[in-house]
Amino acid sequence: MGTVRNAVVTAAFVLGTCSAASTACAGETITLMVGGIDKIIYLPAILAKRLGYFEQQGLDVDVVTEPAGVNAEDELIAGAVQGVVGFYDHTIDLQSKGTNVESLVQFASAPGEVELVSSAFAASIKSPADFKGHTLGVTGLGSSTDFLTEYLTKKFGLQRNDYRLLPVDAGKTFIDAMRRRLIVAGMTTDPTASELLASRQAKVLIDLRTEASTREALGGIYPSGCLYMRVAWVESHPDEARKLTHAFVETLRYIHSHSAEQIVDQLPRSYYEKRKALYVAAVKAFQPAFSTDGRMPESGPRTVLAILSAIDPSVEATDVDLSKTYTTAFLDEPGE
């Protein structure tokens, strides 16, 4: 992870020397790792930071990035970060493996992902049933793109050994993998998907960027981006957990009360570089999928559990307690 890992390790060292007990000490830095900070599905993370909502809550929050959500998950388990901005499905997957984490605030009710097929192979690949014998791109093995890819291929009659998965992250590495034909198709999010579509290098096979298309493809709402943290940390830092939650709810309100152009103007130029119009259009398209209040959609957890159980025997064999994979406790408390 290079400089990002170094930053996280440094932050973890500072936290370790500051807080030998489980309670937070004055001036403690809370490090949140994002599974791809320039992805539109995770906009609340960088917006909360740049709009000053963490600071308004009296928090010192460091937001760092890692291209794949599964790697951010690993950093959380290792104790190098206090929270992850990633997909809700990791809370179920981790509980089935004996690690208790929970979502504090939900960002969206649709994954925001797209299964793209390279234009060079679009004539022969019309559905996931045609993936047999091919290599498919995902952000990382064990990532949400992995989970969703495995579910969709199984839904269309393929077994896991019928195709290969190649971790290619997102952004330039994903685009390069498709250009070089290392993958014939892959699951990614915006702005990567929009860039490939705009350049006509890829075509949409399955679109999970809206609630309606998600219901059609997955059989229900699939809550995606969220802030999830270790239950033990939340229980020992209730004040910080509440403040983090309220900072993100304020950010979600900002997203729904401002135009896509205004939102993008708050972001670093490096997020969109010379493709600002494309990025703005992608933000505008996904805006309706963002939550207005940060609450978990009622039927969402059951849909996610059903999908993970369909592809992972360890999840299917575990008596997962969905009530322990998310909490609304801090949403019900007044902010500062």
Q: How far apart are CA 152 and CA 129, in angstroms?
A: 9
Q: Are 68 and 283 in contact (CB under 8 A)?
A: no
- Which letter, b or e, does each residue of 27-61 get, where b requires 16 or more Cβ atoms within 10 Å of its Cβ? ebebbbbbbbbbbbbbbbbbbbbebebbeebebeb
Q: Are 166 and 138 in contact (CB under 8 A)?
A: yes
Question: What pLDDT is recorded for position 67?
Answer: 63
CATH of the domain at 82: 3.40.190.10
**17 domain residue, yes or no:** yes
- Token output for 147: 């989970």
Q: How far apart are CA 323 and CA 304, in angstroms?
A: 13
∠ CA 235-46-29 to the nearest 5 degrees? 45
* Shared domain check, 297 and 313: yes
**152 domain residue, yes or no:** yes
* Shared domain check, 119 and 106: no
* Domain extent for 121: 113-208
* Shared domain check, 142 and 10: no
Q: How far apart are CA 136 and CA 239, in angstroms?
A: 43
Q: Are 301 and 326 in contact (CB under 8 A)?
A: yes
What is the model's pTM? 0.88
Question: What pLDDT is recorded for position 22?
Answer: 34
User: In a structure prediction context, what are the per-residue pLDDT tens digits for the chain, which is 336 residues long?
Assistant: 343 333 443 333 333 334 333 334 456 899 999 988 889 999 999 999 999 999 999 999 999 987 655 678 888 988 899 999 999 999 999 999 999 999 999 999 999 999 999 999 999 999 999 999 999 999 989 889 999 999 999 999 999 999 999 999 989 999 999 999 999 999 999 999 999 999 999 999 999 999 999 999 999 999 999 999 999 999 999 999 999 999 999 999 999 999 999 999 999 998 888 899 999 999 999 999 999 999 999 999 999 999 999 999 999 989 999 999 999 999 986 654
* Shared domain check, 100 and 44: yes
Q: Give the Cβ contact number of residue 332 at 10 Å.
A: 10
What is the total count of domains within the chain?
2
* Shared domain check, 245 and 173: no
